[in-house]
Structure 1
Amino acid sequence: MCAQLPMRSSSRMSRPFPAALAGALLALLAAGAAIAAEPPPPRPEAVRPYLGPQHRVEVAKGRRLNLVCMGQGGPTVLFEAGGSDWSAIWALVQPAVGRGTTACAYDRAGLGYSDPAAAPRSPIAVVEDLHALVSAAGLARPLVLVGHSLGGFDAKLYATLYPEDIAGLVLLDPAEDRTWDRTRALANARFGARTAAKAELLDQRFLARLVDHFQSCGTAAREAGLDPASDLYRRCTDPVRPRLGPEIAAARVEVQKSAAYQAAQASEFAASVYADHSGDAAYARLFKPGVLGERPVVVLTHVEEPSDDPLDALDQAQGLALHRATAALSRRGVHRTVPNSSHNIEIDAPEVVIAAVQEVVGRVRAKPRGRRR
């Protein structure tokens, strides 16, 4: 998400917030710090599908979503980007997956090359759009859904609402609902009531400031536009990701400076599981251990070097606990950590993501149809 966010405390900005905050809200603050030696960017022909609209599918009257597919065979793998992102973020992963099966990625409403939507971009709105896209595009079901960050939460919600569509899940640092309700006891026991209370209060303050921040970016883009050379543009957009190559970097500028993109970004965060708790009761009913039956699920969590700061340590402990619980939605769920990566695992460790997707695809192929429950 936005490159220069209002700070809640210098020590707590090293991890996505709170605990597993989706959409690269904080990872982008460390964007400049090298995670590992930079490999060469992808070849131009590999990124071409992400430089403009590909297959625009009507999901509602007069409104279309951009779909990028490659490869053949089944099961179909469908990629869901994190907050503020779209299909281009998968450029280091999707082509490799597409060499072994059908691999598709799409742009949510108002992002990338998809039409904007008038309604708030809540998780249920995203899921309903995705369900309409899968149906209208005729994607073969059940499919393997891969989601990052806020997109990871959307993928989890889709799987519980439309289980007949889903053969398996791969979730990268997925956003989590009810983070404090689910981890407050752990935080109190491990870090003490005072530290836990401080962390929770800082998170609440930070969330309010983030909503204001994104809304101000949307207003600025609508009223005067965003000059890519300005500090305002830098504060309201993701940083350049060199690993995706210069062609994607240039295309991202054109998208991110638009009023439609800024409005969608602001709406997605304001209606997210972090800023809008109106769906909490429904999420509590949906996300029960074993609800996904025997469907293979792999959850990946990035981990950082141990910190002496208790707030940082609390963040990481929360994220790990929440992601273990998400893996337990399936009786075949697996949780793994990814060291030496930022929140954008698909950028820093694409080989780990590719291997996880291929693992789930292989497990789906090996399992007879009709035995997922």
Structure 2
Amino acid sequence: MNGTFRKAGHVTLWMALAGCAHAGSAELAAVPERIPDSYAKAGTLVAIAPGRSLNLRCEGNGPQTVILEAGSHADTTTWFKLQPLLAASAKVCSYDRAGYGFSDGGPLPRDLAAEVADLHALIQHAKLHTPLLLVGHSRGSNIARLYAQRYPADLNGLVLIDPPAQDVASVAPEWAKQEAQMSEQRFSFIHQCEAGAEKHQLASPPSALAACVAGGNPAASAKVNASIAAYKFKPVFWRTLESELRDNAVIYGQPVSPRETLGALPVTVLTASDTYADAPGDIRGTLEAARDATQAKILATTTHGRRILVDHASHDIQLDQPVAVANAVDALLTQTATQAH
């Protein structure tokens, strides 16, 4: 869900323990309105294994490094507003996960473990300076959390953008049942698109496959939209998408593990005001409560966490309120730099 750009929130409060702060007003920044045409081609292709490369885009030359981990089936274009804001004070990198954008496909299944392993290999082979700050949106927040547990020495902080509700079935069983039914329909659709891609039909699809080719992003030029469409014409995209969505069902079908711990790692959770704006009114409150409970459990895994509510934002806070995200990241960079000295 993409929203219109509004004046974004300014982070003003640090908390040693998990808490909640509202983002207030901040000065308008020079936020890009259009996806640059540079996104029509790969940034730097980093070989992480024989025959496998991931597409990496880095900006800025600051003393600290930030990596941006996208949500489910998103590529680096999801960060086109945020990345240049952060580049003013840090080296900031986004990348396409395996099977998306300009990155090669990876071994199936594309579960969290596979994606964490790829990210670790990318950091090593790109020779990115550690410890670094990891920013994860949606599914990317789950990747970031697992990465922090497996490679704690690599990180000095996490910023998690609207981590989704987990174990919704425990509070909204009928909603969860409907979602499961919709997922099966979605997988049937993906199989049709994959078959069409195998036959090289998606560039000029027959009417039965027209839905596989979505309309272009209105914030992108024809050149950028053509490059986005091109990787979705490939079977590897559809295989990756199905595997990732099936893993989502596993992840979000269970609660945050009581064994999960991040120790004293600083963690900031950004919560969107309108995550469930499209949900029916009689269920929206329940879904928000489930998300809030999940995020509280995430914050309970660290002794240095805080939660910030970002107003006028859908689940895609990095697109609706990029300045709010930039302020949260900058605040954490300032804290970690102070602690390092």
Q: TM-score, normalised by structure 2?
A: 0.82
- State the one-letter code of the partner of 2:197: A
Counterpart in the other structure of 1:293: 263
Unaligned runs of 5+ in 2: 8-27
2:328 aligned residue (329, 333, 356): 356
SS in 1 for 2:93: strand
RMSD of equivalent CA atoms: 3.1
Counterpart in the other structure of 2:196: 220
1:284 aligned residue (249, 252, 257): 257
1:42 aligned residue (6, 22, 32): 32
How has the CA–CA distance of structure 1 residues 178 and 60 changed in structure 2, closer, same or farther, with 3 Å as cutoff? farther
Any residues of structure 2 matched to 1:196-275 within 5 Å, and which?
Answer: 196-227=172-203, 235-236=211-212, 240-243=216-219, 247-270=223-246, 272-275=247-250
- State the one-letter code of the partner of 1:339: D
Q: How many residues align?
A: 318
Any residues of structure 2 matched to 1:159-174 within 5 Å, and which?
Answer: 159-174=148-163
SS in 1 for 2:340: coil
Q: TM-score, normalised by structure 1?
A: 0.75
Q: Say if 2:55 is the partner of 1:66.
A: yes
Q: Distance in 2 between matches of 1:229 and 1:37?
A: 38
Deviation at 1:277, TM superposition (A): 8.2
Asked if the contact 1:41–1:243 (Cα under 8 Å) also holds between the matched residues in 2, the reply is no
Counterpart in the other structure of 1:13: none
Deviation at 1:173, TM superposition (A): 1.8
Q: Say if 2:312 is the partner of 1:333.
A: no
Counterpart in the other structure of 1:367: 339
Q: Distance in 2 between matches of 1:230 and 1:96?
A: 42
Asked if the contact 1:93–1:351 (Cα under 8 Å) also holds between the matched residues in 2, the reply is yes
Asked if the contact 1:92–1:244 (Cα under 8 Å) also holds between the matched residues in 2, the reply is no
Asked if the contact 2:44–2:56 (Cα under 8 Å) also holds between the matched residues in 1, the reply is yes
1:134 aligned residue (123, 131, 137): 123
SS in 2 for 1:268: helix
Note the alpha carbon deviations across 1:141-171, whole angstroms, 9 max, x for none: 1110011111121111111111111111111
- State the one-letter code of the partner of 2:282: P
Note the alpha carbon deviations across 1:316-360, whole angstroms, 9 max, x for none: 221122122222322121112222222211111111111111111
Q: Distance in 1 between matches of 2:192 and 2:132?
A: 38
How has the CA–CA distance of structure 1 residues 240 and 300 changed in structure 2, closer, same or farther, with 3 Å as cutoff? farther
Note the alpha carbon deviations across 1:32-78, whole angstroms, 9 max, x for none: xx54579998377x724422112111111111111111111232100
Counterpart in the other structure of 1:320: 292
Q: Distance in 1 between matches of 2:144 and 2:281?
A: 32
SS in 2 for 1:242: coil
SS in 1 for 2:283: helix
Deviation at 1:309, TM superposition (A): 2.6
- Give % identity: 28
Asked if the contact 1:160–1:286 (Cα under 8 Å) also holds between the matched residues in 2, the reply is no
Moved more, 196-205 or 63-72: 196-205
How has the CA–CA distance of structure 1 residues 178 and 67 changed in structure 2, closer, same or farther, with 3 Å as cutoff? same
Q: Distance in 1 between matches of 2:241 and 2:208?
A: 15
